[in-house]
Structure 1
């Protein structure tokens, strides 16, 4: 079965030939950086409908991590247009970061629609470098569908631990590699090279749970689930939270 993977990867590349031509011409990345936030706002609405129950349950105890001030300070990495805002508790103070400057106009629109939150700023930054956020300064860090596309997962998690206060929590929800013996994993390997081009670096075959298990968290609450996205290569997910 595995000998078929390179052949089928070639077929997928052929079907996506216009994209690879634009890559060779140096036109794809700047074009897609502008268009990607728009498509993600559409996808996020669909995703939130399909996984509303899972997200609601995941974020149900966010308020438990509020600091001594009584209000929750939350940093969301890869915030995009703010797809998670509807799940955050009243009065939550949010800072959003994203490496793509084109998300900001979509983010501001969503902020206006979520008046129960206090938005304290947008930082143009990758998850690997959050130097603008002080050490031990936030109660909670959130990252959903982010670790699949960052350049260095370990570096991101190091930054997450650095900015969290002692006892703070990192909430995550990520699609990951399926079981290696499954057909899902076979097709994930087939699609992965082209998926990364179309998904702004998003990889289908990361075993992100291993990075979380190896990071210096005092407690890790992690579940593997198969989402309602059953016929897609992103159906295998992990979700949960880790405490510093």
Structure 2
């Protein structure tokens, strides 16, 4: 069994955080490893154990909170934990409460972890193309500012997500974006484009005034031994796909 892997961002040094992949878990089969997705058709005990391992590795003794993700632009301020069956529908969480560990799951979408260390405020966002396009990044920054953060003091890291070389889209997808977004699309085969999700998310962070931005440049699609990927599983005709965690919190 591979050891659990925690990927850290330099700009978040000093804040408990981690981007995790599939190493170090107990799930079996096509989603073997550290699958933390509650909707991944996995054994419930295995998912619970994987979530426990991931949380303990990033911020021991913290209470994990995660939303019911719906590809929205909604950010929720977290002041106290909730039960799994009471998760709010949202795609970003922010808190200033020590002892809470914010977690979002991804399987090609971009995970974004944010912190204003001087204000003691952290955030985690699930930024697929739809959420990023509709404003989840701006909503996350605004929610952090409501707790006392300042956008110029926020550092944000964009974790493992599908890379442009792996993300083929059609003309209908391209038409959803303005001509000002041309730089995020490279021409592919006839009638198709390659979309740079990571760069697009970075641009949304820049537009929100975030002071420091770090993109890790890790492709979920091409590294099957390291990360889960919805698109890779689809292309392979697999019936299921796992999800990985991105976590951030404040020590109690």
**Same fold by TM-score, threshold 0.5 exceeded?**
no
State TM-score, norm by structure 1.
0.38
Higher Rg of the two aligned structures: 1
